Amino acid sequence: MFAQEFADKAGGQVTNDTLGGERAWRIGTNLHADAPDLETVDALVVLHNKRIIILSLLEMPDYSYHHEFDFVRDHWKWMPVSP
């Protein structure tokens, strides 16, 4: 599974979530406190219209944007696009 491979590389774990009403996998990492630079700390992976979509939250030391990341997830809407 793609989400598990991503989590393994980031040193994180996978939990179930949703994005725009579709099943998603949330990947949380352990890089929050000791990341020396800009690091991926959270991500959502979803399969939509035969495409893998990844939303990533990157943070710098002493900054947290989990509230904003969850706001985007909670208000996500899928829109049709042309091929």
Helix (H) or strand (E) holding 16: strand 13-19
Say what the pLDDT of residue 20 is: 95
Average pLDDT of the chain is: 83
- Measured over the CA atoms of residue 49, residue 19, residue 55 and residue 7, the dihedral's sign is negative
pTM over cut 0.75: yes
- Tell me how many domains the chain contains: 1
| Cα–Cα distance measured from residue 62 to residue 54, given in angstroms and rounded to the nearest whole number | 24
Say what the pLDDT of residue 32 is: 52
Does 26 map to a domain? yes
Among the residues of the chain, which ranges form H helices? 2-10, 66-74
Does 80 map to a domain? no
Does 82 map to a domain? no
Q: Model confidence at 31, in pLDDT bands (50, 70, 90)?
A: low
